Amino acid sequence: MNNPPDISQDPAEHEEYAHGIQKHVKGYLMVGAALIVCTALTVGLSYVNFGSQKANIIVALLLAVFKVSLVGAVFMHLAAEKKLIYRVLIFTGFFVFALFWLTYLAWYNPIVR
- From residue 104, how far is each of 53, 64, 92, 94 by CA, in Å? 18, 21, 18, 15
Residues found near another protein in the complex (CB under 8 A): 4, 7, 14, 17-18, 21-22, 24-25, 28-29, 31-32, 35-36, 39-40, 42-43, 46-47, 49, 53, 56-57, 60-61, 63-64, 67-68, 71-72, 75-76, 82, 84-85, 88-89, 91-92, 95-96, 98-100, 102-107, 109-112
Contact (Cβ atoms closer than 8 angstroms) between residue 62 and residue 109: no
If phi > 0 it is left, if psi is from -120 to 50 it is alpha, else beta; for residue 64 that is: alpha
When the beta carbons of 79 and 104 are compared against another protein, the nearer one is: 104
Least Å from the CB of residue 48 to another protein? 9
